[in-house]
């Protein structure tokens, strides 16, 4: 499994920017994309984000992988809107006795939804590629997200990789013993695998609690301290959002 933040390269411009500023900018642009009634603004955002991803030297394969699922959903929605909603017919064809009608208003509506998906996903992709998880957590705690929730996020993130490795070992062992050689066998093996994961999770949690208690854990975990905001970063962010706001308004 690869989490996309692993492709973070330290030496580019975006990784040096304060995570809080990145979060505010992304959130503001996300609101603009979601509330935009046309097609152009989300597409401008998508092109800009794609450019930023390539500037961050994220491998093209990873960018494609990241966009494959949202693109698939966007295409399905576009087709569904085009063929199954709307009133103004653009064309009609007969396939195997089925009359399929493409609608002009459905196509426009579908394009709006699809561009919104692509624009919003691009923003999230840039945020994911440009922000290390720990900084993201520190940013969230600065925004007064409840501490237990942030701590839970950190614990979960830490142990995803441990449990994933465990799952891989169990899966390989099952496969080597023909555990997936039939639907019935496969289902039983999959149930065992997930059950074993729960058992492993419990065992790891016991060990982790003990280790944390031995290191003075009293119920609260320390967070990264945030450095003061840099004037240049804040000014650039305000200017950027202002320019995007003008484009959004036009």
> Per CB under 8 A, which of residues 44..103 are in contact with other proteins?
66-70, 72-77, 79-81, 83-85, 96, 98, 100
Q: Does 155 bind other proteins (CB under 8 A)?
A: yes
Q: Minimum distance from CB of 229 to other proteins (Å)?
A: 22
| 42, 56, 107, 135: which one binds other proteins (CB under 8 A) | 42
Stretch that binds other proteins, among 14-22, 111-119, 225-233, 239-247 (CB under 8 A): 111-119
Q: Does 153 bind other proteins (CB under 8 A)?
A: yes
Q: Does 130 bind other proteins (CB under 8 A)?
A: no
Stretch that binds other proteins, among 10-18, 51-59, 214-222, 239-247 (CB under 8 A): 214-222
Q: Does 204 bind other proteins (CB under 8 A)?
A: yes
Q: Does 17 bind other proteins (CB under 8 A)?
A: no
Nearer to other proteins, 10 or 228 (CB): 10
Nearer to other proteins, 25 or 127 (CB): 127
Q: What is the number of other CB atoms lying within 10 angstroms of the CB of residue 28? A: 16
Please give the Cα distance from 75 to 178 (Å, whole number). 38
| 17, 180, 224, 226: which one binds other proteins (CB under 8 A) | 180
For residue 131, report the phi and psi dihedrals to the nearest 5 degrees: -125, 120
Query: Under the phi-then-psi rule, with left for phi > 0, alpha for psi from -120 to 50, and beta for the rest, what region is 97?
Result: left
Nearer to other proteins, 72 or 239 (CB): 72
* CB contact at 8 A, 25 and 241: yes
Q: Does 183 bind other proteins (CB under 8 A)?
A: yes
Nearer to other proteins, 150 or 237 (CB): 150
Nearer to other proteins, 173 or 187 (CB): 187
Nearer to other proteins, 172 or 235 (CB): 172
Q: Does 213 bind other proteins (CB under 8 A)?
A: yes
For residue 218, report the phi and psi dihedrals to the nearest 5 degrees: -120, 15
């Amino acid at each position: 499994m690869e989490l996309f933040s692993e492709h973070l390269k330290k030496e580019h411009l975006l990784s040096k920017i304060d995570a809080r500023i990145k979060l505010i900018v992304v959130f503001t642009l996300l609101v603009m994309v979601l509330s935009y009634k046309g097609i152009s603004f989300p597409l401008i955002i998508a092109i800009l984000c794609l450019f930023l991803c390539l500037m961050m030297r994220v491998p093209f394969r990873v960018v494609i992988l990241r966009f494959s699922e949202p693109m698939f959903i966007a295409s399905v929605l576009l087709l569904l809107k085009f063929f199954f909603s709307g009133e103004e017919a653009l064309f009609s064809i007969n396939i195997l006795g089925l009359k399929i009608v493409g609608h002009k208003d459905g196509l426009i509506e579908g394009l709006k939804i699809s561009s919104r998906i692509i624009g919003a996903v691009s923003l999230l992709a840039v945020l994911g590629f440009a922000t290390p998880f720990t900084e993201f957590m520190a940013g969230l705690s600065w925004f007064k997200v409840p501490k237990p929730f942030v701590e839970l996020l950190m614990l979960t993130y830490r142990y995803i990789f441990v449990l994933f490795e465990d799952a891989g070992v169990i899966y390989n062992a099952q496969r080597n013993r023909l555990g997936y050689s039939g639907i019935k066998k496969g289902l039983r093996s999959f149930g065992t695998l997930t059950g074993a994961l729960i058992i492993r999770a419990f065992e790891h949690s016991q060990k982790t609690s003990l280790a944390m208690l031995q290191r003075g854990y009293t119920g609260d975990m320390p967070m990264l301290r945030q450095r003061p905001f840099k004037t240049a970063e804040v000014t650039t962010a305000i200017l950027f959002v202002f320019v995007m706001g003008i484009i959004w308004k036009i």
